[in-house]
Amino acid sequence: MLSNPQGMVEFLFPVSGTAVVEQAGQRVRVDADATVVCGLDRPLGLWHSPGFEALALVVPESRLAARASWFDQCLKVFEGRRGLGRVAFDLLRTVSVEGNALVAAEFDAACERALDLACLAGSGAREADSSHRSAARATIRRFVADHVADPELDGHMVAAALGWSRRYLQAMLHDEGLTLSELIRNARLDMARVRLEQEPALPIGWVAVECRYGSHAAFSTAFRSRFGMTPREVREGQVR
């Protein structure tokens, strides 16, 4: 039992049986095929059949700000045994079974992944093209662009800074056919081209190192794949 449920949200994943959840005059019936999301700030009624069992994931509402724009403190129900809802349920069930074998960091990481998946499942198919996902992608791109010169920039840094899991970041970029690593690589190559064009005296090898390439050849190959020309060809075009 939570000592202070203020500001908390519960994802309830029924395992067996049925239940009726009521809050603020809204009543929903859930069974093992559904998942219900509810805020715990307000009185909540729960009636269930004999043998009802469920898994519960309780998180601060602040954790949903960028993940679940669809949640507005009203009861929400989404498919819990198909698609991402099923994946989230299976992951939570595994965590429940293996909990004693997990250290705290592993347990937290697994729950974080389950939360990401549950939020995406709750968003539904229409959310895929919504302003929520567009805004999330813009946030990711902006962070990468602002930190592209940082040699420590990688997926872990982006996830930690934005407070999102890497799985969630990947899901947001999936619609554009990009991985987070590709986004960072492309941003570094874009920076490299600007530097080559604006600083003709800067050695190409230095630019390659700044972009985290271990060899001039690897840098040239990646550069040509993105721009259709080598770094030297870009440099020569500026000199002429």
pLDDT per residue as tens digits for the range 153-177? 999 999 888 877 787 788 778 777 8
The answer, yes or no, to whether residue 56 has pLDDT greater than 50, is yes
What's the number of CA atoms in the CB half-sphere (13 Å) around residue 197? 7
The H-assigned helical ranges of 99-203 are: 104-123, 131-146, 155-162, 166-174, 180-198
**Token pair of 145, please?**
């662009």
Q: In one letter, which amino acid is 235? A: R
> What fold characterizes domain 141-240?
Arc Repressor Mutant, subunit A (1.10.10)
Class of the 8-129 domain?
A: mainly beta
Closest CA to 34 of 53, 60, 15: 15
- Whether this model's pTM surpasses 0.95: no
pLDDT per residue as tens digits for the range 207-221? 888 888 888 889 999
- Which residue's entry shows tokens 């000199």? 239
**At residue 78, what are phi and psi to the nearest 5 degrees?**
-140, 165
Distance CA 55, CA 58 (A): 10
**Domain ranges in the chain?**
8-129, 141-240
| Identical fold between 8-129 and 141-240 | no
